[in-house]
Amino acid sequence: IEKVLSLQEEELKFLDNVRNCINIRIRCDRDYASSLLMVAVCGQKCHFNDNIGNTNIGTVWRTIADETHELSKLMANSADELTHEVLELIDELVSEKKALRKSLIDEYNRYCSQLDNSCQRIQSEYEKCLTNYKSTKTKYEDIWLRLPKKTEHNANINSKIEKQFIDIKRKYEKLCQRLHVLHNDYCLVTTEAKQYENDFRLLLIPALISYHESILMDSDITQENSNIYGNLKGKLTKPMPPHVAIGFNDKLLDDFVGALKPNQLIIDTESELQHKLTISQLEIRDKRNLQKQYEQEMRTLLPLSEDNENAKMGIKIRKRAIDIVKKDLLFIETQHERTHQLWERVDVSLTKISGLQVPNGLELNLTTPHKTNSNTTVQAIVNSMENRSMTSVSTTQDTTKSYSSLSNTMSWGRTFLTRLKRQKMSGSVSTLTSVPSTTISHNLAQRREKDETIELCDEEWFHGSLPRSESNKLLLKMGDFMVRESLNNGQPCYVVSVLWNGFRHFIISTDSQMYINI
pLDDT at 19 exceeding the cut of 80 = yes
Confidence class for position 410, pLDDT limits 50, 70, 90 = very low
29 vs 368 pLDDT, higher one: 29
Residue 471 reports pLDDT greater than 50: yes
Out of 3-12, 75-84, 170-179, 382-391, which region has the weakest mean confidence (pLDDT)?
382-391
Element (H, E) at 271: helix 270-301
What size, in residues, is the chain?
Answer: 518
Give the tens place of pLDDT for each residue, 278-320: 777 777 777 777 777 777 776 776 665 555 555 555 666 667 7
- What is the C-alpha to C-alpha distance for residues 324 and 208, in angstroms, rounded to an integer? 10
Return the H-helix or E-strand segment holding 503: strand 503-510
pLDDT over 50 (residue 239): no
The CATH code of the domain at 2-267 is 1.20.1270
Label residues 258-278 b or e (16+ Cβ within 10 Å = b): bbbbbeebbbbbeebbeebbe
pLDDT of 13 higher than 80: yes
**Which secondary-structure segment (H or E) carries 517?**
strand 516-517
Q: Is 236 exposed, middle or buried (0-12, 13-18, 19+ CB in 10 A)?
A: middle
* Average of per-residue pLDDT values in the chain: 69
Give the model confidence (pLDDT) of 136-170 as tens digits. Answer: 888 888 888 777 655 445 555 557 777 888 888 88
Tell me the mean pLDDT in the region 191-209.
80
Please report the pLDDT score of residue 464 as a whole number.
Answer: 74
State residue 387's pLDDT score: 39
* SS3 label, residue 445: helix
Q: Spell out the residues 6+ positions from residue 179 whose beta carbon is closer than 8 angstroms to its own.
A: 126, 129, 130, 133, 260
The residue-averaged pLDDT of 18-23 equals 89
pLDDT in the model for residue 137: 85
Does the global pTM surpass 0.85? no
pLDDT of residue 377: 33
Query: Does 416 have pLDDT greater than 60?
Result: no
For residue 96, give the nearest of 108, 107, 86, 104 by alpha carbon.
104
- For residue 184, what pLDDT band results from cuts at 50, 70 and 90? confident
Contacts of 356 (CB under 8 A, 6+ apart): 465, 467, 486, 487
Residue 487 confidence (pLDDT) above 70? yes
Domain ranges, ordered by start, for the chain:
2-267, 378-517
Mean pLDDT for the stretch of residues 391-395: 34
Q: Identify the H or E element spanning 495.
A: strand 491-499
Q: For residue 509, what pLDDT is reported?
A: 67
Long-range contacts of 490-496 (CB under 8 A, 24+ apart): 492/429, 492/430, 494/420, 494/429, 495/357
pLDDT at 394: 33
Nearest in space to 404 (alpha carbons), one of 415, 394, 389: 389
Look at 453 and 222; give whichever has higher pLDDT.
453
pLDDT-derived band at 426 (thresholds 50, 70, 90) equals very low
Most confident of 4-8, 49-53, 62-66, 153-157: 62-66
How far apart, in whole angstroms, are the C-alpha atoms of residue 492 and residue 483?
13
In this prediction, residue 279 carries a pLDDT of 77
In this prediction, residue 468 carries a pLDDT of 76
Q: Is the pLDDT of residue 3 over 60?
A: yes
Q: What is the pLDDT of residues 67-109, one digit of tens each?
A: 888 888 898 988 888 888 888 888 888 888 888 888 888 888 8
- Residue 391 confidence class, pLDDT cut points 50, 70, 90: very low
Confidence at residue 353, expressed as pLDDT on a 0 to 100 scale: 59
> Is the per-residue pLDDT at 390 higher than 60?
no
Q: Which of 411, 392, 410, 419 is nearest to 516 (CA)?
A: 419
Percent residues over pLDDT 90 in the chain? 1
pLDDT of 336 > 70? The answer is yes
What would the CATH number be for the domain defined by 378-517?
A: 3.30.505.10
Mean pLDDT within 201-218: 75
Predicted local distance difference test score (pLDDT) of residue 346: 77
- Tell me the C-alpha distance between 20 and 29, whole Å: 14
The pLDDT tens digits for 21-52 are: 989 988 998 899 898 888 888 877 765 666 66
Check pLDDT > 70 for residue 398.
no
Give the pLDDT confidence score for residue 217 in this predicted structure: 66
Q: What is the pLDDT of residue 354?
A: 56
